[in-house]
Amino acid sequence: MNINKFVMPEVIFGHGSRDQVGESCLRLGAKKVLIVSDRGVMNEGWLENVIENCKKAGLLFATFYDITTNPKDFEVEKGKEQYIAHECDAVIGVGGGSAIDTAKAIAILVTNGGSIHDYEGVDKINEPLPPMVMIATTAGSGSEVSQFSVIVDSKNKKKMTIVSKSLVPDIAIVDPQTLTTKSPQLTASTGLDVLTHAIEAYVSIAATPLTDVQAKNAIQLVADHLRPSVASKINMESKYHMAMASLQAGLAFSNAILGAVHAMSHAIGGRFPLLHGEVNAVLLPHVMEFNFLAVPKKFSTIAELCGESVQNLSNIEAGKKAIDYIKQLSLDIGAPQRLSEMGLTDEGISEMSQVALEDACMITNPRDIKIEDVIQLYRQAL
């Protein structure tokens, strides 16, 4: 019999759940926390909301929000110095993937030492991390429940994928109300990232019945609720379901890992300051067409989850409908359709292809892939 593992944090989900952050830290024994966020979250008021909650709980705190999109190694180093200088004993991450991944990376360094580069790859962390509470403000990266942290190697211009069960936060807080301050573009980008997480986890060679149920639910929720969520900031029903989709997709990919879309997207993100979800959205249909040969039955299921009629269709016919659906969804919500629209050219594709091939996410792609395939996929997406 196969033995399946499934790791996840304690999850607190629902409207107003962010107000439990102070109590959550106290339960973990924290006395002084480093709150890691970014300027966008600060400008929306969510950082101040967390600070006030920590004050009410009697927690001492320091803040670090000097983070950019696609966080860099030197930003992690600055955060580590803040943690040590203020003698913190726990970490709170508030934001999307950039803030939460940085918070995790800081947690690695304050107990394990060295450089964040030392931990690239799988299971390189040896010492326990400080308590971590993560508050997701996008739907989203899923980083608040995952065993991933992705940080840019600024010298080599590539994203480092760090994978370890040590990176699974102690407590994840998901409050759908935080989604009401996001622009339509960011809502679309992060929502398409959720869909990519769910699809790649579902077709991953490491997928299990435990991850499949999470991935399938997430796909269906995105199909039903991403369009209305992009259309209206105050549609709380769609925000609620997109927050749940992000959570479930995060649980799925944390345990089943991902595939070629994320490996290729990481290679691009290491060089260009682009929205990760938009890059994923452009690459996803092309990678699905490539992977289709390996898992046609699952592609048929994806079409059905998206609301497509697959009755009396072969797996091949149904699978093609799934790919067409993804293309139409992306078009409907105004996402870029080509990498060239985002400023990319053929320059550097060979180098990015090699970086993508070496990314940890490529290991679980359902179809064997060579560097020539990666180059061709990039060029198809241009």
Which SS3 state, helix, strand or coil, does residue 11 take? strand
The model's pLDDT over 86-142, given as tens digits with 9 standing for 90+, comes to: 999 999 999 999 999 999 999 999 999 999 999 999 999 999 999 999 999 999 899
The answer to whether 240 and 123 have CB atoms below 8 angstroms apart is: no
Selecting from 1.10.540.10, 3.40.50.300, 3.40.50.1970, 3.40.30.10, what CATH number does the domain 10-178 have?
Answer: 3.40.50.1970
The CATH number of the structural domain formed by 184-381 is 1.20.1090.10
What average pLDDT score do residues 295-299 get? Answer: 95
How far is 175 from 337, CA to CA, in rounded Å? 31
What average pLDDT score do residues 308-335 get? Answer: 95
**Position 231 pLDDT exceeds 90:** yes
The answer to whether 140 and 193 have CB atoms below 8 angstroms apart is: yes
**Position 71 pLDDT exceeds 90:** yes
How far is 253 from 195, CA to CA, in rounded Å? 11
**Position 365 pLDDT exceeds 70:** yes
Task: Give the pLDDT confidence score for residue 253 in this predicted structure.
Answer: 97
How far is 37 from 367, CA to CA, in rounded Å? 37
Domain positions in the chain are 10-178, 184-381
Q: Is residue 2 very low, low, confident or very high in pLDDT (cuts 50, 70, 90)?
A: confident
What average pLDDT score do residues 257-285 get? Answer: 95
- 56 sits in the region (left: phi over 0; alpha: psi -120 to 50; else beta) called alpha
Task: Give the pLDDT confidence score for residue 111 in this predicted structure.
Answer: 98
How far is 301 from 293, CA to CA, in rounded Å? 14
What average pLDDT score do residues 65-86 get? Answer: 96
Identify the bridge partners of residue 95 per DSSP, sorted by sequence position: 136
How far is 162 from 148, CA to CA, in rounded Å? 6
How far is 44 from 57, CA to CA, in rounded Å? 22
Question: How far does CA 305 lie from the centroid of its chain?
Answer: 21
**Position 226 pLDDT exceeds 80:** yes
How far is 42 from 64, CA to CA, in rounded Å? 11
The model's pLDDT over 44-64, given as tens digits with 9 standing for 90+, comes to: 999 999 999 999 999 999 999
What average pLDDT score do residues 12-39 get? Answer: 97
The answer to whether 154 and 116 have CB atoms below 8 angstroms apart is: no
| Total-model pTM | 0.95
DSSP state of 145: G
Output the average pLDDT for the chain.
Answer: 96
Q: Is residue 65 very low, low, confident or very high in pLDDT (cuts 50, 70, 90)?
A: very high
Task: Give the pLDDT confidence score for residue 1 in this predicted structure.
Answer: 55
The answer to whether 141 and 194 have CB atoms below 8 angstroms apart is: no
Identify the bridge partners of residue 94 per DSSP, sorted by sequence position: 135
**Percent of the chain at pLDDT exceeding 90:** 97
Q: Which class for 260: exposed (0-12), middle (13-18), buried (19 or more C-beta within 10 A)?
A: buried
Residue pointed to by tokens 């030197």: 74
Task: Give the pLDDT confidence score for residue 99 in this predicted structure.
Answer: 96
